[in-house]
Amino acid sequence: MEWTTKTNGDYPIEAAIRVLGDDLLIAVWGGTHPHIGAVGIAHPRPSLKDPELLSATTSVYTVMGHKEDTVVQTMATRVAAALNRTVVVTAGIHWDNLTPGAIGKIAAACDTLTQTIIAETTAKVGKLKEAED
C-alpha cells in the first residue's frame, strides 16, 4: 500500500508513505530542489523511563552539507513509537535564502506532516500490536 500527503502554507512539504510488510518507508521533500539529504531508521522499543510506553531508537545518516538530519530523526522516532513499526525516513528539502522565520515554518510543517502520517497510517493499516512473550 502506498499514498502521498502534504502540508499547505508558504513552504509545503510532501511525503510518500509505503507499507512494506510491517514496516514503513517515508520519503519527504519540498522546495525548489527535492533530493535525499538525510536518512533515518527507527526501531520501536520500550521506553527507558516507562517500559509500559513505546519509544524508539533512531540512527541517522546525513549527506555532507545537508541539514535534514533533525527532520528524519524526529519523524522516524515519533512514527515508530506511535505505530510500533520499524520506519525509514528520507528527506530532502530546499529553498534558497531561507530566513530563520522561514526555517521555523518549515519545521512546523514537518511536525504537522508527522502527525498527519501517524493519523493516516493508523486509519489505513493500524498500529502493530506488541509481540507476546
| pLDDT tens, position by position, 69-101 | 999 999 999 999 999 999 999 999 999 999 999
Helix/strand/coil (H/E/C) assignment for every residue in 17-86: EEEECCEEEEEEEEECCCCCCEEEEEEEEECCCCCCCEEEEEEEEECCCCCCHHHHHHHHHHHHHHHCCC
| Chain mean pLDDT for the chain | 94
pLDDT value at residue 126: 83
pLDDT in tens, 4-35: 999 999 999 999 999 999 999 999 999 999 99
Measured CA angle at 38 (ends 82, 7), to 5 deg? 60
Which domains does the chain show, CATH number per domain?
2-124 (3.30.230)
Distances (CA, A) of 92 to 21, 101, 130, 133: 25, 19, 32, 39
Residue 131 has pLDDT above 90, yes or no: no
CA–CA dist 47, 83 (Å, integer):
14
Q: Is beta strand 87-94 parallel, antiparallel or unpaired with respect to 23-31?
A: parallel
